Structure 1
Amino acid sequence: MQIADIPISPALAACYAEKGIATLYPPQAECVEKGLFDGKNLLIAIPTASGKTLVAEMAMHHHIGNRGKCLYIVPLRALASEKYDDFSGKGVRVGIATGDFDRRDDYLGRNDIIVATSEKVDSLLRNRTPWLAEISLLVLDEVHLIDSPDRGATLEMVIAKLRYKNPAMQVIALSATIGNPQELADWMDAGLVESEWRPVDLREGVYHHGCIHFPDSDRPVEHRTKHEDLDLCLDTVGEGGQCLVFVSSRKNAEAFAKRAAAGLKLDNPELLEFAERIRAKADTNTEKTLAACVAQGAAFHHAGLKKEERRIVEQGFRDGHIKVISSTPTLAAGLNLPARRVIIRDYLRYSAGDGMAPIPVREYRQMAGRAGRPHLDPYGEAVLIAKGEDMIDELFDCYIDAPAEDVRSQCANEAVIASHILSLIATGFAREHAELTAFMERTFYAASKGSTAALKRVVQRVLEFLRESEMILEVGEWIEPTEYGSLVSRLYLDPRSAETIATTISEVEEYSDIGFLQLLCTTPDMPTLYVRKNDAYYLDRFIAEHAEDLWTDIPWHASEDFERSLKTAMLLADWADEVGEETICERYGVGPGDVYAMVESVNWLIHASRHLARMFAPDLARPIEDMELRMKHGIRKELLPIVRLRGIGRVRARRLFNNGFCSLDAIREAGVEKIGRVLGSGIAAQIFEQLEGERDEIAADAGQQQSTLFHFG
């Protein structure tokens, strides 16, 4: 089927022509035949790199041409940014929504395509964002993540709510291979497009003792080093290809990248430029190590890196300069980074409570699907490394020849569904018991189980908790939210987190930074750090010195949850006390990306706590507000007046303070020339422009007050 034969805009057709796309792949053509442009719902379960995104993009442009509006839901913020870039510059308006969870973001409604995470869409629904009612096409990327324990219920409830709100809306769901696609398609009233076709042939095999064993042949690999994984990489790079190597931990990813860099020793001016971009902002040894690896053609990629560093690595790999990336499985989750050979070195991963456990088949397929760059590689190879000869057949049976797992709903999990039950009540989706039951019967859980008995029991227990917490009122069959319950729903808080925070702050007598932060770190909404063996001494010493400042009870016996919450709170307190990034990373055994992730997570909880404090503990509202700004910028309290200026962060604020400019008045009195000597003339000019604007506003306000007084005599 030719691009010229389908109903898309000339502008989009021209974009495809520039990329050399003139013909649809067979699975894409099947989507058209099954009603893509006729408003039919579709579940598209085809391999990675088979053109799922292009199908969605064509459908979106078709809707936009008919005055429709499109919502594209992704599981990760990084993927949202990638899709935003992909869809931009093609003659339509594109917006992205991944930020604050208590905003309606009405301005986004001006766009034709809005890219957002499922959590952000859920928060927009809770805050009754009006433009959601205008959505004519919903695209669900990586829809199989409905069975994710931590975010699957949110995705499932968002789908159910949007379909309830817009029954005529077309739904296009995109997925990797799953075991029960028809079951998922039936729930969405969707036609199923299922295929194993790929634009680049994928060969899957197992490596052992110098040879890759494929189902129909063997391929020898030259021994160049003492390391099998590195030999596999050098073999591919020597043929002009690139490699992705998946390992079980960040430590392993970094160790392999160093070995790969030493083995490659590439001499490439472009690599030096990428390395210098990383080195220019490197504050830690991890970042300096990354820069050194990139300079020789290798890199590592994991959540401990800053976003900008990950983007530089991704760009260097896409441009063909970086030849090898070693990564934790996070890289397999959606990002478009294909390579000629994908090496799955570690297929066991530590799981709390289970020890080292095999990765799921679907995760293996996500990794293997990265093999083969369309238009660049004649083939793609996915290679598992066997630890012994007896493992070869086992790896074929467990991964290469095994079917993917079925997708299962997470909506019967009481711990994750409470927030969604409250939001249904607070937003008016369900105000009677019968309405609540009817809505829950629209979930994938109800459709796949055929019985809602277990779900009803979960809902009743959640309602009991919400009632006892005074977040809802029940009068017979009627249910309505209290002011407290409505606030919790709008703030996008887990009700258990809200109750922990509200109860504690209403009882404490005096504010304490560490007490407040450690309280937040005990809530379900806050991720916490692992506690290492050598952390015990420092935690015990901290407790001995600060026991009176903590707001939660200190357990008599060792408690992993308490220790994790305290360690995380200590890291956050250090950040707000202006401790250097390198020191924090070394002290707590984390990467720069972890620090920013922790700060981002707690910032939202601090923001929510400020609103709860206004309701339950007004005396704490101001110090919590101060902590919100301190945590955002990583500053001590003394810098608060200065950091309110745009463009002034922790480094510039500290520089001003240490030079004696401790307030806005002191900065004004110093004048632009003196401030320019401290921060540079450009920044100084921006500061004084703000200060002049502030003075004009004050004068205007004063004039308005005088006018009002005169008017009323």
Structure 2
Amino acid sequence: MNVTERLPQFADAFPFESFNRMQSEALPAILERDENVVVSAPTASGKTALAELAICKTLERGGTALFLAPLRALTNEKESEWERFEALGYSVYVVTGERELNSRRAERADILVMTPEKADSATRKHESSRYGFVRSVDCCVIDEVHLLDSDRRGSVLEVTVSRLRRICDPRIVALSATMPNVDDVAAWLDAVPETTFEFDDGYRPVPLEAGVRTYTHGDNPFADKYRRLYRALDLAEPHVRDGGQALVFVASRQDTVRAAEKARDELAGRDVPMGARGDYDFHTEAKELQNKTLRQSVLDGVGFHHAGLSREDKARVEAWFRRGDIQLLFSTSTLAWGVNLPARCVVIRDTKLHDPLEGEVDMSPLDVLQMLGRAGRPGYDDAGYAWVICDAADADRYRRLLEEGTEIESRLAEDLDAHLNAEIALGTIDDLDDVMDWLDTTFYATRARSATDRYDFGGRLRERVRGTLSALVEGGFVETDADLRVEGTALGRLASRYYLRLETAERFAALAERGELAEMDVLTAVARAAEFDSVSCRQSERDAVNAVLTGRAADVDDASHRKVLAILRSSMAGTTPGELQSDAWVIRQNALRLLAALRAFLERFGGPADANLACRVEARVENAISADAVGLTAIDGVGSGRAKKLASEGLTTPADVVGAGVDALVDAGLTQGVAERVVESARSLPAVEVEWGDFPERIARGRNDMREVRVRSTAGGARAGVAVTVNGVPMTDSTAYLGETTVPVGVFGGSAEEMEYEIAVTFPELPLVPVRESRTVRVE
């Protein structure tokens, strides 16, 4: 079916001239009907074109299309690929957590690209002007809908799609790799038989031969990796010798580099003809790579690919692999999802991987099938060859997976309490009937009706939801009345806003009510969060953990949480031990989210001083800055590096920066333009001044007097907590906007010889060090 004849207006949006057999059969359902569409088709059969067809129809009608990509890395790729739509006059906007949201651009976009997690966040805030653009979505394309069965992400996709359908009821076009129970997904999305497609392996552009190979398991995990590597090279070598290419999937970014280095030596020893060292043009291109190890490796025909490489390096590796300059490529799972990079031979070397939050876990069946589906190069190979290398004990399980596939299950039950709480907090559920109506919109309910042996069914399923609702009421997350109306509490709304496990939210609220916290209390509360329950602390890491925590009082006994605490503690000083570095980034990113949540809990249920403490701890964990200089991070444009540079010059507060001026910042190593912006930003922050006025120096014993003290900011304004203590005993505590405020202070002649009055000003939303000023009154 010719593209230009079928879609003359959008012909330039497609990188080919004709639709293939699979695309041609599904095309009428997408272009000529309006119902929801579900397509299950083999990997590499051309599902992306179906997404683009649905987008074209939406654009033709003047609507807005939302594309849900399974990985954040793929959202950036779509932005690049869909410059074809930009060239036709349509706007493409990617919404990710990595970028500051431009709500005007999002509102005006014709095509929005998001991950399920970002779409979840946006739909939770759809009533705000900032995220109101999600209310205008006319068509939602779900790429790789079998992500529903993903351990941690499946339930997010499920509730997000259900919520989006209640918000604006867009047309849904769901695309998936081959799955046995496509009818369940169709039933969930109300796709009619005429718009539900299940294309079998006969539609694969290249037939696939897949199998399982075992290896001899030893006692040393490091040695086992190399046993599996040699097994993978044995499988790949014949295809490489024959002019084909091989793609080997490994567990981690670091493993891609190590495996590539070892493979270069091994294949050279086997005298396998590879590489392009004599190709002057390729040699020149390789010099442009930013990664030095990669630069050396690709000249020998061996490359590696992972999310940690620069965007430019990844693009070059992909282009060279397609071109045939790289014959053997080692990659993490990123390449399996969405990137069209087939190879004649695909080998999964590692079926288990280390998750910083979960420890050692099995690769999901979805990932396995997705990776194996990359085998076979259309137009070049008569067959694709795919292998799983595993321990003999796991062989039968993987053989069954290859023969039978895996049914897509709902993961909602695993987080049912948190998701139900979120819907109530959002106000989309008002009473018990709404709860049941919401349940009926989920894939969980659909799957329960078709797999009664694996799910609670009928009354039992509804009973479970009622029990979950009762637990939310009992835990203080939800309120209900005699008419069975339900409403989220402040606790429930905060838990939903910060995506907290409910156990963690309860702990944070309890800590806030305790008050008068120290730095270690904040760190310990986050380290003990339920989100970190499954963190593994390997034997090799325990000495490093103990060394960091030696002499520091902490109510943390569990090894998992001690590891998290050690990472947070050392991150504040930028001294994370090498043994903890591999997991530190992921743990730190999750901890920063939890610290932001704790700050909000402390402000809502505690006081501004404790909220400010959490804010400063968060800034120190993120920027590895000292306690006295943490206020510098409140300045826009000042992160870890610049804060340390300024602090080394004796500038530790925004006021110091303003006082020093632009020239001093330039002398400290900042460029003229950056120095000007930093000083301007520092001027916009509060600079506290306490005016005691006619506050007395002495008072007669037994006499009482009332005075007023003025607290103001001589620069920018912000909400502040103002606390007054007398000899360390709290007198008053209020929150005001500075600006300016007047604080009444009672001066009285008590039994002590001296009365020390202290005024402390803290900013709950800024990591500024509290300002404290005192006056001493003698009692005569």
User: What's 1:256 paired with?
Assistant: 259
Following superposition, the deviation at residue 703 of structure 1 comes to 12
Pair 1:24 & 2:31 matched: no
Tell me how far 1:478 sits from its aligned partner.
Answer: 1.0
Code of the aligned partner of 2:596:
H
8 Å contact kept, 2:43–2:204 = no
Q: Which of 119, 130, 133 is the matching residue for 1:131?
A: 133
Matches within 5 A, 1:111-126: 111-126=109-124
How many angstroms does 1:140 deviate by?
Answer: 0.9
CA distance in 1, matches of 2:361, 2:616: 44
Superposition deviation, residue 249 in structure 1: 5.9
User: Letter of the aligned partner of 2:150 in structure 1?
Assistant: S
Equivalence for 1:71: 66
How much has 1:432 moved relative to structure 2?
Answer: 0.7
Q: Could you say if the C-alpha distance between residues 567 and 206 of structure 1 is closer, same or farther in structure 2, counting changes exceeding 3 Å?
A: same
Q: Where do 1:261-410 residues align within 5 Å? A: 261-262=264-265, 263=267, 267=277, 270=282, 277-279=289-291, 293-294=297-298, 296-301=300-305, 306=308, 308-309=309-310, 312-313=313-314, 315-320=316-321, 321-347=325-351, 362-374=366-378, 377-379=380-382, 381-384=384-387, 397-400=399-402, 402-410=403-411
Cα deviation 1:580-612 (Å, max 9, x = unaligned)? xxx64x22151xxx4433332222111111111
Q: 1:507 corresponds to which residue?
A: 514
Question: Partner of 1:220 in structure 2?
Answer: none
Match of 1:571 in 2: 567
Cα deviation, 1:70-129, whole Å, max 9, x if unaligned, reads 111123222222223222352321222232999995752221111112222222222234
Q: What does residue 539 of structure 2 align with?
A: 533
Q: Deviations over 1:391-421 (max 9, x none)?
A: 9996995354x121111112233xx111211
The whole-number CA distance in structure 1 between the counterparts of 2:605 and 2:94 is: 35
The one-letter amino acid paired with 1:65 is E
Secondary structure at the aligned position of 1:339 is classed as: coil
Give the 3-state SS of the residue equivalent to 2:209 in structure 1: strand
- The normalised TM-score by structure 1 is 0.80
Paired amino acid for 1:634: A
Q: Is the helix fraction higher in 1 or 2?
A: 1
Question: Out of 202, 208, 233, which is 2:207 matched to?
Answer: 202
Query: In the alignment, which residue of structure 1 is the partner of 2:700?
Result: none
1:534 to 1:610, Cα distance in 2 relative to 1, 3 A:
same
Q: Tell me what 1:2 maps to.
A: 2
Task: Tell whether the 8 Å contact from 2:58 to 2:138 is kept in structure 1 after alignment.
Answer: yes
Corresponding position of 1:39 = 34
Whether 2:44 is the aligned partner of 1:49: answer: yes
What corresponds to 1:215 in structure 2?
none
Report % sequence identity.
Answer: 26
Match of 1:604?
593
Q: Shift in Å at residue 180 of structure 1?
A: 0.6
CA gap 1:392/1:615 in 2 versus in 1, 3 angstroms: closer
Partner of 2:475: 469
Change (3 A) 1:126 1:49: same
Q: Is the 8 A contact 1:329 1:367 kept in 2?
A: yes
In the other structure, the counterpart of 1:142 is 144
Q: How many residues align?
A: 648
* 1:531-590 per-position Cα deviation (integer Å, ceiling 9, x unaligned): 1113334444555522x3x2x4x44xxxxxx211221221122222122xxx64x22151
Answer whether contact 1:576 1:630 (CA < 8 A) is retained.
yes
Measured after TM superposition, the shift of residue 43 of structure 1 is 0.8
Distance 2:522 2:394 in 1: 53
1:443 maps to: 442
Q: Distance in 1 between matches of 2:678 and 2:399?
A: 66
**CA separation in 1, counterparts of 2:375 and 2:522?**
47
Q: 1:100 to 1:206 in 2, by over 3 A?
A: closer
Contact 1:37 1:59 in 2 (8 A): no
Letter in 2 for 1:617: G
The residue type equivalent to 1:600 in the other structure is Q
State how far apart, in whole Å, the 2-side matches of 1:361 and 1:154 are: 19
SS of the equivalent of 1:201 reads coil
Inter-CA distance 311–200: structure 2 relative to 1 (3 Å threshold): farther
CA contact (8 A) 1:527 1:598 kept: no
Counterpart in the other structure of 1:649 = 639
Report if the CA contact (8 A) 1:72-1:113 is conserved: yes
Q: Secondary structure at the match of 2:413?
A: coil
Inter-partner Cα distance in structure 2 for 1:640 and 1:236: 57
Alignment match of 1:621 (pick from 611, 620, 629): 611
User: CA–CA distance in 2 between the matches of 1:529 and 1:704?
Assistant: 42
After superposition, residues 185-264 of structure 1 pair within 5 angstroms as 185-190=186-191, 191-195=195-199, 196-198=201-203, 200-206=205-211, 227-248=230-251, 253-262=256-265, 263=267
Change (3 A) 1:505 1:330: farther
CA contact (8 A) 1:96 1:115 kept: yes
Q: Which has the higher strand share?
A: 2
1:453 aligns with 2:456: no
In 2, distance between residues paired with 1:493 and 1:410?
17
Shift of 1:671: 5.3
Q: TM-score, normalised by structure 2?
A: 0.74
- For residues 345-392 of structure 1, give each alpha carbon's deviation from its aligned partner in whole angstroms, at most 9, with x where no partner exists: 34567899x9999866544321121123445x334522326789x999
Aligned to 2:649: 659
Distance in 1 between the 2:72 and 2:229 partners? Answer: 39
1:84-103 alignment, distance < 5 Å: 84-91=79-86, 92-99=90-97
Structure 2 CA distance for aligned equivalents of residues 544 and 607 of structure 1: 27
Aligned position for 1:419: 418
Specify whether residues 310 and 545 from structure 1 end up closer, same or farther in structure 2 by C-alpha distance, changes over 3 A only. Answer: farther
Contact 1:384 1:395 in 2 (8 A): no
Cα distance change on mapping 1:479 and 1:543 into 2, 3 Å: same
Alignment of 1:143-162 (within 5 A): 143-162=145-164
Match of 1:165 among 145, 151, 167: 167
User: Distance in 2 between the 1:698 and 1:356 partners?
Assistant: 48
Distance in 1 (CA, whole Å) between partners of 2:145 and 2:638 is 41
CA distance in 2, matches of 1:467, 1:309: 48
Between 1 and 2, higher relative CO (CA 8 Å, sep ≥ 6) is seen in 1
Higher alpha-carbon Rg: 2
Evaluate the alpha carbon distance shift between residue 171 and residue 599 of structure 1 in structure 2; reply closer, same or farther with a 3 A threshold. same
Q: Following the alignment from structure 2 to structure 1, what is the Cα–Cα distance between the partners of residues 605 and 359?
A: 43
Structure 1 segment 691-706 matched on structure 2, within 5 A: 691-692=679-680
Counterpart residue number, 2:747: none
Partner of 2:623: 633
Moved over 6 A (4+): 100-104, 348-352, 354-358, 385-388, 390-396, 696-699, 701-705
For 1:86, the aligned partner's letter is E
What are the ranges of 5 or more consecutive residues in structure 1 without an aligned counterpart?
A: 210-224, 280-287, 556-561
Letter in 2 for 1:326: F
SS in 2 for 1:431: coil
Query: What secondary structure, in the 3-state scheme, does the structure 2 residue paired with 1:463 have?
Result: helix
Q: Does 1:684 align with 2:682?
A: no
Unaligned runs of 5+ in 2: 215-227, 268-273, 450-456, 688-712, 718-738, 741-780
1:42–1:171 contact (8 Å) kept in structure 2: yes
For residues 229 and 95 of structure 2, the distance between their equivalents in structure 1, rounded to whole angstroms, comes to: 48
